[in-house]
A and B are shown apart, each in its own frame.
Chain A
């Protein structure tokens, strides 16, 4: 990897962190409505795996989707505008936090019903298989989604039809406030993939280079016709499930323990220790990310509200 690429990935991670922190503030100020699920702590998973895809590969995820949107190339200002429900948002203000997408960047959202996007992911992969496109679909979901029926139907189908799909489970330890071992009959989540005869492995989701290297190898195998693969990225969200989470289910010490292995800190040390980037260069990226978010907020705040007539637009393609 070239230095430029490393600096870009680092910049993406810091941009996500700053975006999420700012979003939390804006939510408290009442400028963002609805639900807001922050990705803070999990940045290495999305940044790592999406850096390993080809631009034509398809990405689909759940509702914790702002970071994925940034990694897929949606500008921070467009993400911020969507959070504020503005006409300039990626979903024209109709989707909000949980429904961000840009199909021109092969990013298919942003889905808020737990696990419901997994069958859609099977379909994206089926579309490519049917059309003989050498594309791979990466489907991201949380540990909680492996307990709903959609997961089992979609994963089973992917094996039956040998679909080109990477099932990427982001195990952040909790489905809302319920710990994995309290919700899943097999706390070792890859066992569920094993049950469907799907090759699987686990990776440290706090370490971007490990995620990226695993994803590069897996995506290559899938593209060569290897069929579906299941990867568990072990990670942690520092913030609550959404804003307004009472967090009765975990102790502050647990959060502090994970924060000692902060994905941005790990990557920073990695880059400095190997002399891939200097402290100064990384500090500059920190400043650039802050500037990017400041500008994003400005853009979003000055953007127009959706026009009243847009209320009736896009119900159907052909009304």
Chain B
């Protein structure tokens, strides 16, 4: 076991898969000579060369669209969007092409493509560069959406995503790159579409993922001081959505708080709480609490930005409302 950062974990996964399979290649803006705008692919260009680490023009539709086309020839492209905010200019290729071709042509088109995208606010980049729109992509059938919250999961899930024959949107959180965690030395894979208990507890179930996991773990540490043991279910994948561990935990705790960084309105909390009402109604002992971003475009000013984003204190407060 080594203690490495999220950035290193993602980088290792990419490196190992490129070493393992010559069909895997990377393309995107500044992934090559620059080394990646978040330094994830630093050193890749020198090692693998420009054919496999392809710098593209600022053309998101062409980045995703050509990755889809290349995948249709049997390759396994990893296309990088510098930020998920740029996904909107490639939206047609993500939700209308990548997510639909397999189904719409009766199963004959197989496109093993991974789209890596950096999501999340908190870096004072203002409204257009700070969004956490992850849930939008989980709305479309045919696209797998993965968003790890620990270095361990980041590595294991990315390796699985690259080996998957389905299109996968792999979401990295901009403020988690420096987070450290234990990662095994040898190779391992984490399955796509499986939630995971990241902290056992008995008093309340916190359902979360990505940055929300970080907030929830910190909140749980504080809550434990007051004798409240939160069980944390990390979704890790928004599509497919694995609800079994959520129901199991909820049937034990009878209370749930759902934590996401994105806007609360029509968010993941809405979906998860609706499903709990549908599947575990008899076990509900308290209203389900949803924690998310305030319904405003994220402002530049640091204080205002932090006011809009969910905080550890919000999670603690949410839990205490129902426990």
Contact = CB atoms under 8 A, between A and B. Distances in A.
Interface of A: 58, 89-95, 99, 101-104, 108-111, 113, 116, 118-128, 130-131, 133, 149-150, 153-154, 156-157, 160-161, 313-319
Interface string B49-81: 001001011010110111111111111010000
B73 A127 contact: yes
B8 to A, nearest CB: 27
Interface residues of B, number: 43
A122 B57 contact: no
Contacts of A157: 56-57, 59, 62, 66
Contact of A126 (B61, B69, B101): B69
Nearest to A91: B106
B284 interface: no
Contacts of B104: 91, 94-95, 99
B109 interface: yes
A104 B107 CA distance: 12
B67 A101 contact: no
Contacts of B141: 315
A122 B109 contact: no
Given A103-B108, A153-B59, A317 B102 contact: yes
B96 A116 contact: yes
A314 B103 contact: yes
Nearest to A93: B106
A316 B70 contact: no
B155 interface: no
A119 B93 contact: yes
Contacts of A118: 65
Contacts of B165: 317-318
A136 B275 CA distance: 49
7 contacts: A102-B108, A116-B92, A119-B93, A123-B65, A130-B75, A314-B106, A318-B192
A120 B109 contact: no
A315 B69 contact: no
Contacts of B77: 123
Max chain A Cβ within 10 angstroms of own Cβ: one of B64, B69, B164: B69
